């Protein structure tokens, strides 16, 4: 083991000890003050609950399991005069907090302090480091955004109701930190950016709006051709707004036992209200219109009317449920469906400037020899999804030639593949 590795391991253990000592001494600190590594070490939130049981304890066994630290590292830590050790329980502690904190900062712990809200809480205002607790806390991933928290909350809800268990089986629930899409990976129109800002402001001022009876807000209809980012933006909003997203595909909700469909729709909306604040994302919303126009089955029509009734009754301000419907076929939506939505957000095919921006974002992590302006000009009519497929095929073309750099010949291969796909899509069989 090199000296550098040994020092890093010792610093890691002292960080955990400092975190435990400071956290135990300050009741106002909670689970969101623990960074993800410390949450995992102390098992905080593993049951889905945001409550953290004090005191936090640091044992040698836990250190070895968490960090794979050898006995020599633990012995080095114990030799520090400010570290206490209980032989019986093999537990470590810091009876002399100030001495340990001074040693930690002197040995290079400043960057760790800036990534650990508990430490920032203690060190703010002390000599030797410029750190602000609020800034560090704001950057720390929230426990409420994690899969553990959302699954724990869902488990408690469905554990109390058979109907909620049935609703859970009909939807896909994603915690914010599970969502792969983030706004910095997307290229949005000014209108799309505006709606995100508006929702964020409404979320921050829900009580203000509620007190003034302004409830007609938060029912959005995303409209545009396939591949233009409707689903991607809905998922990215989950991360921005720190709300889980519940994905519903109406065609899946329609049970083979048509009499159950209306109940299924009711249950999904009830589950969303219980899980609020959350995003309820209904894809393929044109299914409603198709059914209203073409389906003669009375039970199916009742189910669609039940859906529209539930949309009428949902409110982001009252219930904390942001409803997003998405459709590729706005023309077939009738007035009854249109008027349920407070905002209609268009997702057009990207223009040349947007295509160039999208290409640059897609290729940001790839070594690429291509002229993005020229490529944007050549891809008229391509959706964002088409551009991603093109770049993916270009990367694969390079890899199959044993290269990591994407050359113009690879881009041509990518273009060819997308054009082939579009020809096949337009073929009638």
Look up the CATH number of the domain holding residue 284.
3.40.50.300
Residues 360, 416, single domain; the answer is: yes
Residues 179, 244, single domain; the answer is: yes
Residues 46, 168, single domain; the answer is: no
Residues 261, 291, single domain; the answer is: yes
Q: Going residue by residue through the chain, which has 429 residues, state the pLDDT in tens, using 9 for 90 and above.
A: 445 555 788 899 999 999 999 999 999 999 999 999 999 999 998 888 889 999 999 998 888 888 876 777 888 888 889 999 888 888 999 999 999 999 999 999 999 999 999 999 999 999 999 999 999 999 999 999 999 999 999 999 998 888 888 889 889 999 999 998 888 889 999 999 999 999 999 999 999 999 999 888 899 999 999 999 999 999 999 999 999 999 987 777 766 555 677 788 889 999 999 999 999 999 888 776 555 555 556 666 777 788 889 999 999 999 999 999 999 888 887 787 888 899 999 999 999 999 999 999 999 888 988 889 999 999 999 999 999 999 999 999 999 999 999 999 999 999 999 988 888 877 755
pLDDT at 2: 41
Query: pTM for the full model?
Result: 0.85
For the chain, the domain total comes to 3
Cα–Cα distance, 148 to 156 (Å, whole number): 12
Residues 158, 133, single domain; the answer is: no
Look up the CATH number of the domain holding residue 376.
1.10.8.60
Residue where a domain stops, chosen among 293, 327, 346: 346
Residues 136, 51, single domain; the answer is: yes
pLDDT at 321: 96
Residues 336, 363, single domain; the answer is: no
pLDDT at 263: 83
Q: What is the pLDDT of residues 22-43, one digit of tens each?
A: 999 999 999 999 999 999 999 9
Residues 105, 164, single domain; the answer is: no
> Position of tokens 């008229």?
380
Residue where a domain stops, chosen among 94, 115, 140: 140
Tell me how crowded residue 397 is: count the other CB atoms within 10 A of its CB. Answer: 20
Residues 184, 293, single domain; the answer is: yes
pLDDT at 66: 84
Cα–Cα distance, 15 to 125 (Å, whole number): 19
- List, as one string, the DSSP characters of 98-130: HHHHHHHHHTT-HHHHTT-HHHHHHHTT-TT--
Residue where a domain stops, chosen among 283, 318, 346: 346
Interstrand relation of 172-174 and 245-249 (parallel, antiparallel or unpaired)? antiparallel
Beta-carbon-side half-sphere exposure of residue 291 (alpha carbons within 13 Å): 24
Spatial CB neighbours of 395, under 8 Å, sequence gap ≥ 6: 366, 406, 410
* Structural domain boundaries, residue 184: 145-346
Nearest to 229 by CA among 380, 385, 382, 344: 385
Residues 150, 227, single domain; the answer is: yes
Cα–Cα distance, 346 to 356 (Å, whole number): 20
pLDDT at 294: 53
């Amino acid at each position: 083991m090199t000296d550098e590795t040994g020092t890093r391991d010792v610093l890691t253990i002292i960080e955990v000890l400092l975190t435990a000592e400071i956290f135990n001494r300050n009741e106002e600190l909670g689970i969101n003050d623990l960074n993800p590594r410390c949450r995992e070490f102390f098992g905080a939130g593993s049951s889905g609950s945001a409550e953290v049981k004090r005191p936090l304890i640091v044992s040698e066994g836990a250190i070895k399991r968490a960090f794979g630290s050898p006995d020599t590292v633990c012995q080095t830590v114990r030799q520090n005069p400010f570290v206490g050790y209980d032989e019986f329980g093999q537990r470590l502690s810091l009876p002399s907090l100030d001495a340990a904190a001074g040693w930690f900062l002197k040995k290079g712990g400043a960057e760790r302090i800036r990534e650990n809200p508990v430490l920032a809480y203690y060190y703010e205002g002390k000599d030797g480091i410029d750190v602000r607790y609020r800034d560090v806390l704001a950057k720390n991933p929230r426990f409420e955004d994690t899969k553990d928290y959302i699954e724990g909350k869902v488990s408690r809800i469905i554990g109390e109701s058979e109907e909620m268990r049935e609703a859970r089986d009909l939807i896909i629930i994603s915690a914010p930190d599970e969502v792969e899409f983030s706004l910095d990976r997307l290229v949005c129109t000014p209108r799309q950016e505006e709606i995100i800002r508006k929702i964020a402001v409404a979320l921050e001022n829900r009580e203000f709006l509620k007190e003034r009876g302004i409830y007609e807000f938060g029912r959005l209809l995303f409209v545009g051709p396939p591949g233009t980012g409707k689903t991607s933006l809905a998922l990215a909003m989950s991360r921005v707004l720190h709300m889980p997203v519940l994905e519903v595909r109406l065609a899946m909700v329609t049970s083979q036992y048509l009499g159950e469909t209306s109940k299924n729709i009711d249950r999904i909306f009830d589950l969303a209200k219980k899980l609020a604040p959350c995003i309820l994302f209904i894809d393929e919303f044109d299914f409603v219109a198709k059914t209203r126009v073409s389906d003669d089955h009375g039970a199916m029509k009742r189910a669609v009317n039940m859906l529209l009734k539930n949309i009428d009754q949902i409110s982001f301000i009252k219930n904390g449920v942001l409803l997003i419907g998405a459709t590729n076929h706005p023309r077939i939506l009738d007035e009854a469906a249109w008027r349920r939505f407070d905002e209609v957000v268009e997702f057009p095919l990207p223009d040349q400037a947007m295509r160039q921006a999208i290409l640059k974002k897609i290729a940001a992590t790839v070594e690429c020899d291509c002229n993005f302006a020229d490529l944007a000009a050549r891809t008229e009519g391509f959706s964002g999804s088409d551009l991603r497929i093109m770049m993916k095929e270009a990367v694969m073309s390079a890899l199959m030639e044993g290269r990591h750099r994407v050359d113009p010949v690879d881009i041509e291969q990518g273009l060819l593949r997308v054009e082939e796909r579009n020809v096949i899509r337009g073929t009638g069989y």
